[in-house]
Chain A
């Protein structure tokens, strides 16, 4: 199965008596954009937590580039190329945009350096500026993040993750709280910058998911009930019943 970047095999997890995920299987291919949808409490974020190592599954395996990483620590997984964003904005509010990116870029090399090696740091900073330029934010490099609009903060949030040059980027509702236009702009930035990165996108805005994703997986009550192309999902009865059929009120 060459081309498979991430394989989730029979993963399950329970908190106390509550089964949050039951026997979930999912494969993400190289360069693919995968949508992940499901009602609130379906287990989407929990799945992210398992892939990134914030949680250990009760059973099942996570395989990345052919290696089992189920027990690998988060920091190690990040170095392997698995990076995520969070539902809530997770920027560093008191640092400048530039410093936010620098923190990400230095994570792998100079994160613990005390006596700095100027050249290496300058290289990292040059790279940060490059990313900002591509995202059209170079003019705001020196701004303190907390002084920016929420939309811009979310962009910085995503840029931080992209600066890590991930192979797999897990986006947890990046567009939540944004206006339609802001959301579309954010997706635009992601698509410009992500290159060959595989994406897994959780979003409540189904229009965006169906427009952007190559395939879409549907979680309901901790079970994977469908995984297909957007058109396939639209036609899938189980998915309809679990999610779409309930209409927009499930999505709010």
Chain B
């Protein structure tokens, strides 16, 4: 029990003083604005990918960090929405608002289906059942060749654009994709944050810590978890809808359980229950995978070691680990 507490007490999110928060946001905004000046096209696109995957990991944090529900099927929500957007874009064109709308909706529908199946389970049972449900979705995508392209996936997608009524903005450049991803990431963070700070978010924490007491207080546990799943699915879906257009490709890998497991790893490295840690974890993981692997075949060893050390030394993730080094904020 004490682990859940250690791992997740950041989840209670007693927000830091507003002024400090505004300062932090400001610094991030300035850095984000400066990035395109120094980064190459490739790097901007890489950052865009981090932001998109990071948003999906953040949505997983709603479940893991606040609901205590570790899902191994989260990639399906992300990948399913990505497929839906890619399929729709072929006939409807890739308008940004349309794509995000379709993705969000798909994410929520898939979360709803998953939710109905997994609602009564917790802990390891929840972990395995989400894995199974996710793999069923994956099998469908993998075998529905006419629509999804099967194992080969889909390519040749139209480029992303934004219809502003008077003009149509082309979003295919790395810079445009970066800006789009950044806006999405910020929106995802803001929505998730408002969710956890609202009564529903507090109630979600309640179900994580004292499920019985929550039912004794008259809360409907299943309903709270379902709402968390829906919110999480909506964010993951919105993020997923951009993914095919950043990669110019979407394939069954982005729905597989291994991707779900990778998301959990990213989340834990970054810090469970902090929301923004999701982005840091994603950056660390993708950074290692992309850069270390150029120098050694043993990059998986590096990822594994970092992950195990994180779990053993700072189970609350890099965000808190570094925080306690500098500000002593780790202990209350």
- Residues of chain B in range 212-249 having any CB-CB distance to chain A below 8 Å: 212-220, 223-224, 227, 231
For window 123-151 of A, CB contacts with B under 8 Å fall at: 144, 146-147
Within 8 A of B (CB), among A77-95: 77-79, 83-86, 90-95
Q: Which B189-224 residues have a C-beta within 8 angstroms of A?
A: 194-195, 198-200, 202-203, 205-206, 209-210, 212-220, 223-224
Contact status A112-B9, CB under 8 Å: no
A112-B223, A112-B224, A113-B199 as given contacts; A94 in contact with B5, CB under 8 Å: yes
Q: Does residue B19 face the partner (Cβ distance < 8 Å to A)?
A: no
A92 and B198 contact, CB distance less than 8 A: no
* A121 touches B (CB below 8 Å): yes
Q: Which residues of B contact A121 (CB under 8 A)?
A: 199
**C-alpha gap A74/B209 in the complex (Å):** 19
Nearest CB of chain B from residue A213's CB, rounded to whole Å: 22
Q: Which of A92-116 contact B (CB under 8 A)?
A: 92-96, 99, 102-104, 106-108, 110-116
Are B198 and A116 in contact (CB-based, < 8 A)? yes
The docked-state distance in angstroms from the alpha carbon of A241 to that of B276 is 63
Answer whether residue A209 sits at the interface, using C-beta atoms and an 8 A cutoff: no
* Most chain A CB within a 10 A radius of its CB, from B11, B194, B198: B198
Cβ contact within 8 Å between B198 and A86: no
Judging by beta carbons under 8 Å apart, are A75 and B215 in contact?
Answer: yes
Chain A residue, CB-CB nearest to B215: A74
The answer on a CB contact under 8 Å between B12 and A90 is no
**A160 close to B217 (CB less than 8 A):** yes
Q: Judge whether B332 is part of the interface by a CB distance below 8 angstroms.
A: yes
CB proximity of A155 to chain B, nearest CB, Å: 15
Q: Which of B5, B195, B198, B216 is within 8 Å of A93, CB to CB? A: B5
- Taking CB atoms, residues of chain A closer than 8 Å to B11 are 94
Q: Interface 1/0s, chain B 272-299, versus A by CB < 8 A?
A: 0000000000000000000000000000
Complex-state Cα separation, A230 to B297, whole angstroms: 78
Residues of B within 8 A of A106 (CB): 199, 202-203
User: Closest B-chain residue to A83, C-beta based?
Assistant: B216
Q: How far is the CA of A75 from the CA of B220 in the complex (A)?
A: 6
Size bracket, chain B contacts: 20 to 34
Contact with B along A22-63 (1 / 0, CB 8 A): 000000000000000000000000000000101000000000
CB-CB < 8 A to B9: which residues of A?
94
Question: What does the 1/0 interface line of B1-45 toward A look like (CB < 8 Å)?
Answer: 000010011011010000000000000000000000000000000
Q: Which residues of chain B come closer than 8 Å to A147, judged between CB atoms?
A: 332
Q: B199 and A75: CB pair below 8 A?
A: no
Cross-chain contact A95 with B202 (CB below 8 angstroms): yes
Would B209 and A164 count as touching, CB distance under 8 A? no
Contacts A93-B5, A116-B199 given: A104-B217 contact, CB under 8 Å? yes
* A107 close to B227 (CB less than 8 A): no
Q: Is the CB of B199 within 8 A of A115?
A: no
Separation of A52 and B227 alpha carbons in the complex (Å): 25
In the complex, which residue of chain A has the Cβ closest to the Cβ of B221?
A: A75
Interface size on A, residues (CB 8 A): 39
CB contact under 8 A between A95 and B205, given known A78-B218, A86-B213, A116-B199: yes
* Alpha-carbon distance between A70 and B8 when the two chains are bound, in angstroms: 38
Are A99 and B202 within 8 A (Cβ)?
yes
Among A75, A94, A114, A161, the residue within 8 A (CB) of B12 is A94
User: Across the two chains, which residue of chain A brings its CB closest to B210?
Assistant: A90
Q: Is A78 a contact of B216 with CB atoms below 8 Å? A: yes
Let me know if A112 and B209 touch, CB within 8 A: no
Within 8 Å by CB of B209, from A77, A84, A94, A104, lies A94
A111 touches B216 (CB 8 A): no
Which of B198, B223, B332 touches A115 (beta carbons < 8 Å)? B198
Q: Are B332 and A144 in contact (CB under 8 A)?
A: yes
Q: Is the CB of B219 within 8 A of A94?
A: no
A92: chain B residues at CB < 8 Å are 205-206, 209-210, 213
A111 near B203: Cβ-Cβ < 8 Å? yes
A91–B231 CA distance with the chains assembled, in angstroms? 26
CA gap between A5 and B8 in the complex, in Å: 42
- Are B199 and A111 closer than 8 Å at their CB atoms? yes
Q: Collect the chain A residues with CB atoms within 8 Å of residue B14's CB.
A: 96
Which residues of chain B come closer than 8 Å to A110, judged between CB atoms?
A: 199
Tell me if B199 and A86 are in contact (CB < 8 A). no
B217's partner among A78, A112, A114, A146 (CB-CB below 8 A) is A78
Q: Which residues of B contact A103 (CB under 8 A)?
A: 202-203, 206, 214, 217
Q: How far is the CA of A111 from the CA of B202 in the complex (A)?
A: 8
- Residues of B near A74 (CB, < 8 A) are 215-216, 218
**In the complex, are the beta carbons of A108 and B218 less than 8 A apart?**
yes
Q: Interface on B for A, CB 8 Å cutoff? A: 5, 8-9, 11-12, 14, 194-195, 198-200, 202-203, 205-206, 209-210, 212-220, 223-224, 227, 231, 332
Ranked 10 nearest A-B pairs via Cβ: A78-B218, A90-B213, A107-B217, A110-B199, A107-B218, A114-B198, A75-B218, A113-B199, A94-B9, A106-B199
Between-chain CB contacts (< 8 Å), 24 pairs: A52-B216, A84-B216, A90-B210, A90-B213, A90-B216, A92-B206, A92-B210, A93-B209, A94-B12, A94-B205, A95-B12, A103-B203, A103-B206, A103-B214, A103-B217, A106-B202, A107-B217, A107-B218, A111-B200, A112-B199, A112-B224, A114-B195, A160-B213, A160-B217
Q: A interface vs B, CB < 8 Å?
A: 52, 54, 74-75, 77-79, 83-86, 90-96, 99, 102-104, 106-108, 110-116, 121, 144, 146-147, 160-161, 164
